[in-house]
């Protein structure tokens, strides 16, 4: 039986009025977008971000970093390695959202009385002075440390990412990555320490992957009381578990681009200068 036309119109109007109406947005109300807290690449679980630098500004943050070792003397180097560079603040700069540690072929008469034919860049979250009461950007004990970086290639270039103890000692030393410019597909990972008898010792692993000078990659370490675990691009590459020698004291971070030295050798004519070690971010979680 067909309903009269007027009844059908009444039912349609009634049902339309019962529909939920969404109010129009208030133009004066600004929506709040919560920041996305990054988590470690390839890791699960909950993490607290202890420290980060995304290098999104226009200059290096001096509250987080210094541009020399603690033996800063208007520049610095590691003489025991016979390195050829003298680190200078102007070789460290931030541009286009990345940190650049730039090696240059440049002659400089250093404050240590030596002449160097290369300058380069370094950053440290430790102190720029031997005074242990001085400011440090980050000193921590245990955590997950990660960078995203693009490494330079070329004989004589030696980019590194590592940790040292906060007591002005050279050991224990944790080398998260070291790469020699003439073999940019090979990552060296190491722990340097003193044995119980006082002798110097080293545990080391070498892992071959892609050409790390051809693109961006992540390099990380999980520093735990019972293990040191190295990661490249979120995948475990090596694990060290001798708790007797795993560092248990506060440490700080270093990133540097060395030139020459006993291990990598001197640059050749084919080595490009200036050459940059580029870092997209540095992050530490607990």
79's CB contacts (< 8 A; 6+ apart) are 112
pLDDT in tens, 120-156: 999 999 999 999 888 999 999 999 999 999 999 999 9
Distance CA 6, CA 18 (A): 19
Q: State the number of CA atoms in the 13 A half-sphere of 254 facing the CB.
A: 26
Rg (CA), the chain: 27
* Domains of the chain, residue spans: 49-285
Size (the chain), residues:
286
CATH T-level fold of 49-285 = Jelly Rolls (2.60.120)
Res 6: pLDDT: 44
Res 5: pLDDT: 45
Res 35: pLDDT: 67
pLDDT less than 70: residues of the chain: 1-35
Average pLDDT, the chain: 91
Distance CA 116, CA 211 (A): 29
pLDDT in tens, 209-252: 999 999 999 999 999 999 999 999 999 999 999 999 999 999 99
CA separation, residue 179 to residues 66, 69, 154, 213, 232 (Å): 23, 20, 11, 10, 13
Tokens at residue 65, please?
């970093």
CA separation, residue 223 to residues 46, 124, 194, 202, 240 (Å): 16, 18, 18, 17, 10
Res 134: pLDDT: 87
Q: What is the largest CA-CA distance in the chain?
A: 109
Across 196-249, where does the E strand assignment appear? Answer: 200-208, 217-224, 227-232, 235-240
Tokens at residue 118, please?
């290369």
The answer to whether the CB of 93 falls within 8 A of the CB of 102 is yes
Res 142: pLDDT: 98
Across the chain, where does the E strand assignment appear? Answer: 49-53, 85-87, 92-95, 98-109, 115-120, 122-124, 143-150, 157-165, 173-178, 186-194, 200-208, 217-224, 227-232, 235-240, 251-259, 275-285
């Amino acid at each position: 039986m067909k309903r009269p036309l007027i009844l059908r119109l009444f039912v349609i109007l009634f049902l339309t009025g019962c529909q939920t109406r969404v109010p129009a947005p208030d133009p004066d109300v600004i929506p709040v977008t919560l920041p996305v807290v990054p988590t470690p690449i390839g890791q699960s679980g909950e993490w607290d971000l202890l420290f980060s630098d995304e290098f999104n500004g226009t200059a290096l943050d001096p509250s987080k970093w210094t541009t020399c070792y603690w033996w800063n003397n208007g520049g610095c180097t590691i003489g025991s390695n016979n390195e050829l560079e003298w680190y200078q603040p102007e070789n460290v700069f931030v541009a286009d959202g990345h940190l650049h540690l730039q090696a240059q072929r440049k002659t400089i008469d250093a404050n240590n009385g030596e002449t160097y034919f290369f300058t380069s860049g370094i950053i440290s979250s430790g102190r720029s002075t031997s005074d242990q009461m001085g400011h440090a950007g980050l000193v921590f004990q245990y955590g997950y440390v990660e960078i995203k970086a693009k490494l330079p290639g070329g004989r004589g270039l030696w980019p590194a990412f590592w940790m040292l103890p906060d007591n002005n000692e050279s050991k224990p030393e944790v080398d998260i990555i070291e790469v020699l410019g003439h073999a940019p597909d090979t990552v060296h990972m190491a722990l340097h320490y003193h044995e119980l008898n006082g002798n110097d010792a080293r545990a080391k692993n070498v892992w071959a992957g892609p050409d790390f000078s051809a693109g961006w990659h992540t390099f990380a370490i999980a520093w735990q009381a019972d293990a040191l675990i190295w990661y490249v691009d979120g995948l475990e590459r090596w694990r060290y578990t001798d708790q007797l020698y795993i560092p248990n004291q506060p440490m700080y971070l270093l990133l540097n681009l060395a030139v020459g030295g006993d291990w990598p050798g001197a640059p050749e004519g084919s080595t490009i200068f200036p050459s940059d070690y580029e870092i997209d971010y540095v992050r530490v979680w607990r």
